[in-house]
Amino acid sequence: MRRRKVKIFILLVLLIIFLYSENNFISISKINIKLEKVPKSLQGYKIVHLSDFHNKSFLNYGNRVAEKVKALNPDIIVFTGDLIDSRRYKEEVSLDFMKELVKIAPVYYVNGNHEIRSGKFSTLEQGLKEIGVNTLRNRSESISKNGEEVYIMGIDDPLYKPLEETLEGAIKNLQHSSFKILLAHRPEYISEYSSYNVDLIFSGHAHGGQVRLPFIGGLAAPGQGVFPKYTNGKYEIDNTTMVVSRGLGNSVFPQRLFNRPQIIEVTLLSK
C-alpha cells in the first residue's frame, strides 16, 4: 500500500513538472523567408515575432521572454495582439514587458480581440506610445536601409472595425511594387490579406491550437474551430507568406499541451 502511494506521489510530481514546463518553458523557432521582393539591403534582416502575451506575470515571465529576445539581436520586434487579457486585465504587467522590449529594438504592435474587448484600449495605447512602441492602427510606416524601403502595416482587430476598412486604410498610397509586411491578429483571414498584395503577414490569436497532437497539429483555435488550419509556423497562399505564432500566454483555457510558448525569429532573404 505504501509503495503504491509513493508511486502515485511520484507520478503526480512528474505530471506537475510536465504541465509547468508546457506552459512556461519558452521555445524559439527560426524561419527563413526567401522572397523576390525583399530588397538586397535587407538580406539577413532579423524580425522577432511575439504574440498573445495575455499579461502573464508568473515568475517574472516577461523579463524571461525579453532576455531570450535580446540574445537573438533582432533588427525589429513585431507583436501581433492580445498583449493584455480582458478577463484579468493587468496593464502595468504588459507595459513593463514592452518597456524591456523597446530597449532591444524598435517594436511594432497591433491590437487583438482582448484589447478591444477590455474596453480599456485607449489608455493602454497611450501607455504604449509613451514608452516608444510603434502602434500601427490601419496605417503603415516605412523601414529604410541603404536607400531602400519596405513598408510595415498594421490593422485593428475586426471587433473594432470591419476588415476591409482597416486594410484599405493601411495600404492606401503604397506602391504595388513595394515590399509590404502586414501585422494582423487573426490568421484565418489570410485570403483577404493576400488579395491586397501583401508579401509577408505576421499573425497570432490561435494559441497554436492550445493542444497539439502528433501528425495532426492544433486541436482547436478561436475563429477556426476544431482542427484549425493556421496555428503555427509558415503558410503560403498565392504570392503571400504568413507566419503564425503559437503565442506566449493563455486565456480561457489555462493549460498548453505539446505546445510550448513561442518566440519566432524570421530572417529575410532575397531571391
For residue 30, the number of C-alpha atoms closer than 13 Å in the C-beta half-sphere is 7
For the domain covering 2-270, report its CATH number. Answer: 3.60.21.10
DSSP letter (8 states) at residue 268: E
Question: CB of 261 within 8 A of CB of 56?
Answer: no
Q: How far apart are CA 228 and CA 226, in angstroms?
A: 6
As a whole number of angstroms, the distance between CA 203 and CA 106 comes to 18
Tell me how many degrees the CA angle 216-218-220 measures, rounded to the nearest 5: 125
How far is the CA of 154 from the CAs of 12, 146, 168, in angstroms? 45, 24, 11
pTM of structure:
0.96
Question: Residue 4: what pLDDT?
Answer: 87
Helix axes 91-102, 61-72, angle to 10 degrees: 20
Give the model confidence (pLDDT) of 236-253 as tens digits: 999 999 999 999 999 988
- Each residue's pLDDT, cut to its tens digit, for the chain (271 residues) gives 788 888 899 999 999 999 999 999 999 999 999 999 999 999 999 999 999 999 999 999 999 999 999 999 999 999 999 999 999 999 999 999 999 999 999 999 999 999 999 999 999 999 999 999 999 999 999 998 888 889 999 999 999 999 999 999 999 878 777 899 999 999 999 999 999 999 999 999 999 999 999 889 999 999 999 999 999 999 999 999 999 999 999 998 899 999 999 999 999 998 8
